[in-house]
Amino acid sequence: MEIGFIGVGRMGKAMARNIMKAGHRVRAWDKSAAALAEIRKDGAQIATSARDAFGGDAVISMLPNDDIMRELFIDGDVLPRDGSATVHVNTATASVAFTEELAAFHAERRVPYISATVFGRPEMAAERNLNILAAGDPQAIERVQPIFDAMGKKTWRLGNEPRSSNVAKVAGNLMVACILEAMGEAAALARAYKMSPVEVLDIVVNSVFHVPIYRIYAGLIGNATYEPPGFDLMLGLKDAKLALEAGEDVHVPLPFASVLRDNYLDAIAHGDAGKDWSAIAKVAARRAGLES
């Protein structure tokens, strides 16, 4: 296939290379001449402008933020004005609100638009180890599937609304960031008690952070089935308090644990004391007006 590629930074470069390795042709553009020189060595054609790169079967974009995407695709002259058969596949983590705006603008210009955010860091992109979250017109996704296969190990399809890809990506990143903060709080607690944070995190990761546990909890929360409890909310509250007390004695603030405590109380005040502690998810839902 003939593929345009806009944005060949660390992520984009790794993805473009894999597309070429799979036998497709890439015509790349980037505002950095150095980035273009590098991808040219890998065999890509160099476009003279973003507008010039926007052609062929599909154009992949991987740009750093909303402002740059707005400048090119909405305020700029990159998008064809009279419709096109070229599918625009945006792999960047745009905001949900801006994705809606982009999708509407492409519809107006009659240019097929797919949002295809990815999970994976540059090393994983290089190893063709990305998870791709594709959302938008299913026929357009079907047409570019060979490109997704060239770039990632799995494509998840999330329906017709491009923004769904961004919601899932944003939610996933939030969860990883929460883990990092939680690890940080655990490491501070360990250090304050003169223990090795390496050792404590090692134990926890190897004991409890294995995939099956998360599959189980994701199922309980996703399906909202909190009974019978494996470990109930009152025990969850007790454990949150143990962490808070342990931190208090050695002067370690634990803001996540504080939020957990408040949420357990909220859950208990609403009659969920005897449900599984994953029922803390009901609090987030109720506060968003989602529990009837």
Q: Interaction with a copy of itself in 159-218: which residues (CB under 8 A)?
A: 159, 163-164, 166-168, 170-193, 195-211, 213-215, 217-218
Amino acid at 149: D
Tokens coding 51 = 């507008």
Q: Which is nearer to a copy of itself, 85 or 182 (CB)?
A: 182
Among 34, 108, 288, 292, contact with a copy of itself (rule: CB under 8 A): 288
How many CB atoms within 10 Å of residue 115? Answer: 30
Residue closer to a copy of itself (CB basis): 56 or 120: 120
User: Is residue 71 a contact point for a copy of itself (CB under 8 A)?
Assistant: no
Joined tokens for residue 133: 């979250």
Residue 111 or 135 with smaller CB distance to a copy of itself:
135
Q: How far is the CB of 67 from a copy of itself (least distance, A)?
A: 11
Could you give phi then psi for residue 191, rounded to 5 degrees?
Answer: -60, -40
**With binding defined as CB under 8 A, does residue 122 bind a copy of itself?**
yes
Instruction: Please say which residue, 49 or 269, places its beta carbon nearer to a copy of itself.
Output: 269
Binds a copy of itself (CB under 8 A): choice among 21, 40, 110, 270 = 270
**Residue-level length of the chain:** 292
Separation of alpha carbons 264 and 257, rounded Å: 10
User: Which amino acid is it at 20?
Assistant: M
Among 37, 104, 107, 242, binds a copy of itself (CB under 8 A): 242
From residue 185, alpha-carbon distances to 29, 76, 180, 273 in Å are: 43, 45, 9, 26
Query: At CA 63, angle to CA 62 and CA 65, rounded to 5?
Result: 140
Give whichever of 107 and 284 is closer to a copy of itself, judged by the CB atom. 284
Choosing from 121, 138, 142, 160, the residue that interacts with a copy of itself (CB under 8 A) is 121
The single residue among 81, 223, 228, 292 that binds a copy of itself, judged by CB under 8 A, is 223
Smallest separation (angstroms) from a copy of itself to the CB of 12: 15
Residue 69 and residue 61 in contact, taking contact as beta carbons nearer than 8 Å: yes
Instruction: Return the number of the residue (47 or 272) whose C-beta is nearest a copy of itself.
Output: 272
Longest CA span, the chain: 68
Nearer to a copy of itself (CB atom), residue 105 or residue 156: 156
Decide if 128 contacts 153 (C-beta within 8 A).
yes
- Choice from 104, 142, 154, 160 touching a copy of itself (CB under 8 A): 154
**CA dihedral defined by 76, 79, 81, 85, rounded to 10 degrees?**
180
Query: Do residues 50 and 76 lie in contact, with contact meaning Cβ atoms separated by under 8 Å?
Result: yes
3-62: contacts with a copy of itself (CB under 8 A): none
Should residue 274 be labelled a site residue for a copy of itself when binding is judged by CB under 8 A?
no
Among 37, 97, 104, 107, binds a copy of itself (CB under 8 A): 97
- Type and span of the H or E element at 292: none
